[in-house]
Amino acid sequence: MQNTVQSMQCPKIRAVFVALAAMLVAGCGPTAAINLFSPSDHYTREAGKAYGSDPRQRLDLYRPREAADDAPVVVFFYGRGWREAERGAFEFVASALTDAGIVVVIPDYRAHPQVSFPAFVEDGARAVQWTAENVPGVADGRRELFLMGHSAGAHIAALLALDERYLGALAQPPPVAGFIGLSGPYDFLPLDPGYMEEVFPEETRDLSQPIDFVSAQAPPTLLIHGTDDERVLPEHSRRLARKLRDHDVPVTLKMYQDSGHARVVAALAPPLQFIDDTLPDCIEFIEAHRAAASGD
């Protein structure tokens, strides 16, 4: 990995990796390329764990090889427009977070056109329930649980964090120490004509906006957005941050200058961490709210 990191000093190679990252997140490129250059010897992976009966209701659990007994847990939801994608394409996220001593869960979930809202959020709740039942310490709060997502995945994680009906429906809802949203859509009605009208049917559409469920009970929040994001406009994160502050919820808003939609999450990949501060900002937030939860 040292040679790979050193090679990042070459502007041409840096540009190639940034392009690959954008292709990865857009779902049209060689996802193996980013994962290939992300080290995997520091964690173990338990793949294909079922949290439901549907083939899409599967998740991967990543544990640092030297994880502390009270290591925090992140459940990460990928995006791609509420369309079907593959959790394995985002192993680079687990590589980065486990290197910081964090246990990571990355679920697949049913998506359009198989299902519409709110099925994919309900799948998210089931994945959180599996995590609470299978990772000791999550259910009772001995391990801090953080919900994290990018793009459509940030929307799913936000609803799980803000709308109490999802996790509240679980037999024993685990406490949520924080929510991390990367380039997320939180306030997008009315819909433009197109497939989004199928993803969010009219009969449930009014319940689909995370911003509508902000309350004083919301968990501490980190919102990261690129100022050049044209797919999900930065104002989504700004508006959600304002509403959270109006309810006295601790919120940190990070706006990355000249950064776009894909770059924010791609910067988590070990060979791409030079392009944005996503990883250090996430680690700082997690550590700060672990300390707050323990009273340190």
Domain boundaries, the chain: 2-294
CB-based contact 181:158 (threshold 8 Å) = yes
Nearest residue to 150 via CA among 86, 97, 78, 238 = 78
- Does the domain made of 2-294 have the CATH classification 3.90.550.10? no
Q: Which amino acid is at 270?
A: P
Structure confidence at residue 290 (pLDDT): 85
For the ranges 14-18, 102-106, 139-143, the maximum mean pLDDT occurs at 102-106
Question: What would the pLDDT profile of 88-138 be if each residue is shown by its tens digit?
Answer: 999 999 999 999 999 999 999 999 999 999 999 999 999 999 999 999 999
Residue 28 has pLDDT above 50, yes or no: no
User: Which carries the bigger pLDDT value, residue 271 or residue 108?
Assistant: 108
Structure confidence at residue 17 (pLDDT): 55
Instruction: Give the separation between CA 109 and CA 195, rounded to whole angstroms.
Output: 18
Structure confidence at residue 26 (pLDDT): 53
Give the pLDDT band (50/70/90) at residue 296.
Answer: low
* Region 145-157 average pLDDT: 98
Residue 7 has pLDDT above 60, yes or no: no
Using DSSP bridges, classify how beta strands 58-64 and 103-107 pair: parallel, antiparallel or unpaired: antiparallel
Residue 257 has pLDDT above 60, yes or no: yes
CB-based contact 272:34 (threshold 8 Å) = yes
* Region 256-265 average pLDDT: 95
Residue 66 has pLDDT above 60, yes or no: yes
Structure confidence at residue 291 (pLDDT): 62
Give the pLDDT band (50/70/90) at residue 21.
Answer: low
Structure confidence at residue 18 (pLDDT): 58
In angstroms, the Cα distances linking 291 to 72, 177, 284 are 11, 10, 11
Beta bridge partners of 252: 222
Structure confidence at residue 30 (pLDDT): 43
Nearby residues of 136 by Cβ (< 8 Å), 6 or more positions away:
142, 143
Give the whole-number percent of the chain exceeding pLDDT 70: 87
Q: What's the chain's average pLDDT?
A: 90
Cis peptide before 173 (omega within 30 of 0): no
The number of CA neighbours under 13 Å toward the Cβ of 101 is 14
User: Which long-range CB contacts under 8 A does 45-50 form with residues at least 24 apart?
Assistant: 45/91, 45/94, 47/88, 49/130, 49/134
Structure confidence at residue 62 (pLDDT): 98
Q: Order of strands across the sheet with 145-150?
A: 43-50, 58-64, 103-107, 73-77, 145-150, 178-182, 221-226, 251-256
Instruction: Give the separation between CA 108 and CA 70, rounded to whole angstroms.
Output: 26
pTM greater than 0.85: yes
Nearby residues of 218 by Cβ (< 8 Å), 6 or more positions away:
161, 162, 179, 244, 247, 249
Nearest residue to 145 via CA among 219, 57, 66 = 219
Residues 149-173: b if buried by 16+ CB within 10 A, e if exposed: bbbbbbbbbbbbbbbeebbeeeeeb
